[in-house]
Structure 1
Amino acid sequence: MFRALKYRNYRLFFMGQGISLIGTWMQQIALSWLVYRLTDSVFLLGAVTFCSQIPSFLLGPFAGVLADRFNRHRILLLTQFLSMLQASLLATLVLTNTVEVWHVLALSAFLGTVNAFDIATRQAFVIELVEKREDVSNAIALNSSMFNMARLIGPSVAGVLIATVGEGQCFLINAVSYVAVLGSLLLMRLKPFERIKQEHKVWQSLKEGVNYAFGFAPIRALILIVALLSLFGMPFSVLMPVFARDILHGGANTLGYLMGASGVGALVGALFLAQRKTVVGLGKVLVFTMALFGVALIAFSFSEILLVSLVCMLFSGFGMIVTMASCNTLLQTIVDDNKRGRVMSLYSMAFMGMAPFGSMLAGTVAEEIGVAYTLAGCGFLCAISIIPFALNLSKLRALVDPIYQRLGILPEIATGLQTASSLTAPPEER
């Protein structure tokens, strides 16, 4: 389950990111609570999320080109430093009681711009930290488990801190937590970066990456699933402060419990993926978990009992992370190395870039018909959006099988002795 941790660079990355992500989740919860406390507006909750994520939609493809052309390690050092600067400014404004909503919107847009380059680069960089191809899926699953362990700890701690000392301390802790990830990046022993001479200009490279991703049906289908999950499913986190305060009649602690329960489910899902030894069969898994996520959201939307809501959040967290991580793993497995940054930027664009549209839409609709019916509609759309993928699963698998055979992933190819000639020989000679 933890085999990717045997690599020193990945181990450093795992620990540094784990500490930093706890602070990130603390900031996210504190930011939602701060905005809702200052404005009592569901629309502005959606607006803050929109500002923080729309840059990924606009800049994501260019970030992928950058990740394929330049030193990913140095890009990450810069993005993590800028993220620390953003958290420090936010902490200063809140702790001095000078914060206004426009400050939050502007700093959210700044962080979103940084994240547009950080996410695409980080997704491609993780592969460089694992020496053996067969351990890539485990590294991605452990990445998800680390993300969701932080998601379990961060909101719970944030809920307590908000209730006792206010939101400012959460932003301050997040700023300090970036020291861990910056330190881990600086301690890595990496091969000297060799810049490959690019024959194409930026626009041509971008076009090449888009044509490659959307010209191959399996990659196109996986990116579409992520986009639909992000558009219809991610708004649930934006509406959480409303459910915590107005429907479950709780406070910041209740919000922390709800997000923590979602984090527990997501952590279980990530560990479930980590113990899998092969990517074969992940298509059927993500069909089930996407449907599970939608049904769990519908059940949560009509619950007025905290215990029931926590159980629903548990299942929704499991369904969401297994679906997202499965799509990530499958993409990382089948994509060509020289186009990895661009494809993962499209993944990030679908993941982060569609969420702001969903958040704004959910916030606007919730003002009209209420949060319960809005979230129920989101859950229904998630559940039915996986149907076309399920119906075409066998056709998509047939297209991916040759790649699995070339990589030695399929059991009949992976077992026994493999030689270089067997990998390069025509299919009829194998």
Structure 2
Amino acid sequence: MESPWAPLRLRVFRTLWLAQFVSNVGSWMQTVGAQWLITQQSGSAGLVALVQTAASLPVLLLGIPAGALADIVDRRRLLVCAQVLMLTASGLLAVLTALGLMNSSGVLALTLVLGCGTALMNPAWQAIQPDLVATRDQIPTAAALGGVNMNVARAVGPALGGLVVALTGTATVFAVNAASFLVTLTALSTWHPPAATSHLAAERMLPAIRAGYRYVRHAPRIRRTLGRSLLYVPCAAALWALLPVAANQQLGLGVGGYGLLLAAVGAGAVLGAVLLPKVRRHWSSNVTLAAGGVLLAMTLVVLAVVRIAWVVGVVLMFSGLAWVGVLSILNAQMQVTAPEWVRARSLAVYLTIFQGGLAIGAAVWGGLADGIGLRGALLVAAAVLVISSLAGLYLSVPDTALDRSPSMHWPTPVMILEPSASTGPVLVTVEYRVPADRADAFTDAMGDVGRSRLRTGALHWDLFRDSSQPDTYLEVFEVASWEEHERQHGGRLTGYDRSVEEKARSLVDPEHPFKVSHYLPARPDSR
């Protein structure tokens, strides 16, 4: 069995992984500084929770366009632009804080700008991971290492941030965060993305967004992964939103103590990354996700009722273990399930739900804490998390792998009319002859074929049966333009799509091969 650290032996992966670690540490230091600055100025749980909202809300608003952009433009160039934006925002935050000109509103505003940079960066960063590893089999390992990266940073960053704030003030942690983006920019200069192989022009933004939406809508495994994320993240956001308030108001800790509590969460997350492979050998993904949610809920209960700091710190390690266990499974599912042509868009939807859940959840739990008290808000969050985690058992995330490697198995259509790229809509029909004893199996198999057509570009799909010749079936699907249909031929199909087609066609009468026809608008100027 290959080592779980194997991708780190690759120079480019290792360089970017280390740069990401430095950036993650800087971001956690910045979060500690921002939350503590607002805590000192206002003491409002609602305002402190809005730091998380300001960081996450831009992903909710910009994540989907950013994912489409990452599938259209050069991903390295997009990553560089995002780093420059975040460098500017964090540098401004450091300078204004050092001059004594920063207030709570300013912190939230510049945190919002940093969130915009994160929204632009995340889909592209996640999508390039398969380009950094040696084989497709290493993609899940690379995804797990991404979780280790974030959670080691979670263990180091808060404690370091708390120490720096205590010794030198919040302006310093903001400056350190700005420097971390320079490290990432340097690392990106060492990576050169693979050259594009498609002969087709880059997709336009709106059609690309629509194509990504269709793919996610008609990919059952991705929808289930997204559903489990939606059940987990908004409730789990209570931990990150309310922990600084609990540290200050219930445990009487200063910024250094708060940093140590976050370090305990991070240490538990690192332990979770080590233990997860062993857990997965005994439990399915479905059970592990539910158990992670229940375990995190239990830690919220302890945080609500216990007033002994060291006991809370020990228990918070289990929250980190639960957090990394759930997110590693969800992230790996998205990485290996979405094919390359739509990977960034699929990941953008996942990140939108994830960050949007954090943003909305943080605002809800912060407001509830202001209304009914901190203890009540934590207990309500724990109860809802237990219910949603157990309900998630009915939204199973399978463990079997799908072949998402590109497959160009459709032959080039023989055409007399020569359509332009914009010609459309295009109607494609496929005629099949199926023996009567195979009819039920054929129609069942064609359901998977229909979802394949819809994922890869079809606007509509249906299957009809000839009333005068019951053994004759007609598959019909419509594509927006000839260019979109060419994209189906030229890289959108995968090995899994080929397998579902082969399964359906194995049921066709071998003496009557299926027949494919392409219909173009008779009056293209009449639309």
**What TM-score, normalized to structure 1?**
0.89
Q: Using the TM superposition, name which of 45-54 and 310-319 deviates more.
A: 45-54
Any stretches of 5+ residues in structure 2 without a counterpart?
A: 407-494, 507-527
- State the match for 2:73 in structure 1: 70
Which structure features the higher share of strand residues?
2
> Partner letter of residue 132 of structure 2?
L
Secondary structure of 2:189's counterpart equals helix
1:222 and 2:188 matched: no
- State the match for 1:14 in structure 2: 17
Task: Provide the C-alpha distance between the structure 2 equivalents of 1:17 and 1:154, rounded to a whole number of angstroms.
Answer: 13
Task: Provide the C-alpha distance between the structure 2 equivalents of 1:402 and 1:155, rounded to a whole number of angstroms.
Answer: 36
Change (3 A) 1:405 1:112: closer
- State the match for 1:413 in structure 2: none
1:382 and 2:373 matched: no
- State the match for 1:415 in structure 2: none
Secondary structure of 1:187's counterpart equals coil
Task: Provide the C-alpha distance between the structure 1 equivalents of 2:200 and 2:38, rounded to a whole number of angstroms.
Answer: 47
> Partner letter of residue 402 of structure 2?
I
> Partner letter of residue 44 of structure 1?
L
Change (3 A) 1:192 1:41: same
Any stretches of 5+ residues in structure 1 without a counterpart?
A: 408-419
- State the match for 2:47 in structure 1: 44
Q: 1:53-132, aligned counterparts within 5 Å?
A: 53-132=56-135
Q: Equivalent of 1:190, from 187, 190, 193?
A: 193
Q: 1:167-246, aligned counterparts within 5 Å?
A: 167-193=170-196, 197=200, 201-246=204-249
Change (3 A) 1:342 1:162: same
Structure 1 residue 235, shift from structure 2 partner: 2.9
Q: 1:308-347, aligned counterparts within 5 Å?
A: 308-347=311-350
CA RMSD of aligned residues (A): 2.6
Structure 1 residue 276, shift from structure 2 partner: 8.6
**CA deviations over 1:85-114 (Å, ceiling 9, x no partner):** 111111111111111222112111211111
Change (3 A) 1:114 1:189: closer
Task: Provide the C-alpha distance between the structure 1 equivalents of 2:394 and 2:280, rounded to a whole number of angstroms.
Answer: 26
1:403 and 2:402 matched: yes
Change (3 A) 1:199 1:3: closer
1:249 and 2:252 matched: yes
**CA deviations over 1:291-328 (Å, ceiling 9, x no partner):** 21222222222111112211221111111121011101
- State the match for 2:362 in structure 1: 359
Bigger relative contact order (CA 8 A; separation at least 6): 1
Verify the 8 A CA contact 1:161 1:169 in the aligned structure 2: yes
Secondary structure of 1:234's counterpart equals helix
Change (3 A) 1:111 1:194: farther
- State the match for 1:304 in structure 2: 307
Number of residues of Structure 1 aligned to a counterpart in Structure 2: 411
Verify the 8 A CA contact 1:223 1:347 in the aligned structure 2: yes
Task: Provide the C-alpha distance between the structure 2 equivalents of 1:267 and 1:196, rounded to a whole number of angstroms.
Answer: 44
Task: Provide the C-alpha distance between the structure 2 equivalents of 1:285 and 1:276, rounded to a whole number of angstroms.
Answer: 8
Task: Provide the C-alpha distance between the structure 2 equivalents of 1:97 and 1:311, rounded to a whole number of angstroms.
Answer: 37
Structure 1 residue 269, shift from structure 2 partner: 1.6
> Partner letter of residue 358 of structure 1?
G
Verify the 8 A CA contact 1:300 1:308 in the aligned structure 2: no
Task: Provide the C-alpha distance between the structure 1 equivalents of 2:391 and 2:365, rounded to a whole number of angstroms.
Answer: 24
Structure 1 residue 193, shift from structure 2 partner: 4.6
**What TM-score, normalized to structure 2?**
0.73
Verify the 8 A CA contact 2:158 2:263 in the aligned structure 1: yes
Q: Using the TM superposition, name which of 371-380 and 275-284 deviates more.
A: 275-284
Secondary structure of 2:200's counterpart equals coil
**The structure with more radius of gyration:** 2
